Structure 1
Amino acid sequence: MNALSGAAIFVVQTLVSLYLVIVLLRFVLQLVKANFYNPLSQFTVRATQPLLKPIRRIVPSIAGLDTSSLLLAIVIQALLMAFVLMLTYGTIGDLPHLLIWAILGITSLFLKIFWVAMIVMVIVSWIAPNSHNPAAELAYQISEPVLAPFRRLVPNLGGLDISPIFAFIAIQVVQSFLMPQLANYAGMPDVLWRLI
């Protein structure tokens, strides 16, 4: 891979990954039943609507889950990975492996969204605990379903909530130990693992 290919991969990966986060965020917002009147939720809906509208005609929601957003995220991730493989090795590989790698990439991004939401929630709870900022409210709505099981297990320490610490540890264990093992079993090339 020459410098021009590396630069092209960087630019395309950055732009596509930003849109991929927005698409996956739309899935997460519906999953956690976030407030869709929040300005950030409205932005997410408007940014993803052009590509999701035709997919929704074909792919129905299953059990209340926005399967069309999830499918779009997987397709975008697979296309990004195919682009990187084409520029790096001159081939895109076979479709089954590409789909498995895309699902692993989406899973990793899914974990990162919850990680960032919890960090925002923790920082806001220290700096401005009663803030009604749209980003703070959205971070709270996204992270609360992840934190709820830990709050049931961890005792209340007199107003100090340490459940985010255990949630961070759990996400980090999955991200650092389980995901690389799954990527290794799936035969994911290192150039793709660095993308996610």
Structure 2
Amino acid sequence: MRSLVEVILLALQLYTYLIIASAILSWLVAFNVVNTRNDVVRAIWNFLDAVTEPALRPIRRILPNLGGIDISPVILILLIIFLQNLLVRVMQQYIPPTLL
């Protein structure tokens, strides 16, 4: 049981890193540091967009327009941190120490 929770926690942590990478890449594109006409940049952009956009889209629909500032990645990361903490607490509370 502990192994399953650890795999879930690792997946959530990796997803958090992907969200951060997506936000950083969007800033780099917005400030013309990197160009999406570059094949490598476009491939990374498409991958990060395909992975993160399904989770970010519902949050963006709920949030009001903040004039070009997108805080949906921050909210999603906070939700992931909350979920990670919840999983750790549930694991500590309901799984006997002999199984940990």
TM-score range, shorter chain: 0.7 to 0.9
Letter paired with 1:105: E
State the Cα deviation string for residues 15-57 of structure 1 (Å, max 9, x = none): xxxxxxxxxxxxxxxxxxxxxxxxxxxxxxxxxxxxxxxxxxx
Aligned to 1:102: 3
* CA distance in structure 1 between the aligned counterparts of 2:63 and 2:75, rounded to whole angstroms: 9
Question: Tell me, which stretches of 5 or more residues in structure 1 are unaligned?
Answer: 1-99
Larger Rg: 1
State the Cα deviation string for residues 98-148 of structure 1 (Å, max 9, x = none): xx1122112112211220111000000111245352233212211111111
Preserved contact between residue 147 and residue 163 of structure 1 (Cα < 8 Å): yes
**Counterpart selection for 1:183 from 75, 91, 99:** 91
Aligned to 1:128: 29
State the Cα deviation string for residues 164-190 of structure 1 (Å, max 9, x = none): 111011011111x2021122122367x
How large is the Cα RMSD of the aligned pairs? 2.0
Correspondence 1:156 to 2:65: yes
Question: Tell me, which stretches of 5 or more residues in structure 2 are unaligned?
Answer: none
* CA distance in structure 2 between the aligned counterparts of 1:187 and 1:174, rounded to whole angstroms: 21
Preserved contact between residue 121 and residue 140 of structure 1 (Cα < 8 Å): yes
Q: TM-score, normalised by structure 1?
A: 0.42
2:47 match: secondary structure: helix
Letter paired with 1:111: L
Preserved contact between residue 120 and residue 136 of structure 1 (Cα < 8 Å): no
Q: Paired residues, what number?
A: 90
Kindly report which structure 2 residues correspond to 1:39-54, keeping only aligned pairs within 5 A, or say none.
none
Q: Quote the sequence identity (%).
A: 30
Q: TM-score, normalised by structure 2?
A: 0.76
